[in-house]
Amino acid sequence: MSTIITFAGKTPRVLASFVAPGCFVIGDVVLKPGSSVWFGSIIRGDTAPCEIGEGTAVLEHCYVENAIVGDNTMLSHGAIAHKCTIGSRVLVGIGARIINGAEIGDDCLIGAGALITPGTKIPPGSVVIDKGRIVRSVTEQDVSYIRLSIEEVQQKATEIERALMSAKRSGE
């Protein structure tokens, strides 16, 4: 079971299609329709609002605090979004960290393990690795990969939600 916590008089608005068991959603948070939050993730809006866009997936063990994340974006396993802004149609790789005032434009690919440092602004359509190093612009192949990856996760969220509901009905 996920845990939805009112904090400082703010209760999360959960319009998401799927919030997995073991997640914590705390304070001034909006999970927009079609978004999904996967097992073990924490989303906090305790000192500023936090918003997860439509169709956006926050995969297992992510930490999102006081961040704004656009539509149809994917935060891969273990990613951290701390007091930052991430655009729409962005794929944030496994274990990437985007922190303190960093801004990621739309249609970006942030590599696994990347560190986007405080105040860094990544322009739309960038491929980023390492410590915020832009290596090139996204290609049509990258854009297609991002779109297909997000669609696949959205479909999987629907399937897992059904499986969880079925298990609950059968008493498993």
Residue 172 banded pLDDT, cuts 50, 70, 90: low
Residue 2 banded pLDDT, cuts 50, 70, 90: confident
Residue 168 banded pLDDT, cuts 50, 70, 90: confident
* Residue 8 confidence (pLDDT): 95
Distance in angstroms (rounded) separating the CA atoms of residues 110 and 93: 6
Averaged pLDDT of the chain: 96
Residue-wise burial string across 10-48, b where 16 or more C-beta atoms lie within 10 A, e elsewhere? eebebebbbbbebbbbbbbbbbbebbbbbebbbbbbeee
Range 99-127 average pLDDT: 98
What DSSP state is assigned to residue 81? E
Range 84-110 average pLDDT: 98
Residue-wise burial string across 127-153, b where 16 or more C-beta atoms lie within 10 A, e elsewhere? bbbeebeeeeebeeebeeebeeebeeb
* Residue 170 confidence (pLDDT): 77
* Residue 68 confidence (pLDDT): 98
pTM, whole model, 2 decimals? 0.95
* Residue 169 confidence (pLDDT): 82
Residue 17 banded pLDDT, cuts 50, 70, 90: confident
* Residue 120 confidence (pLDDT): 98
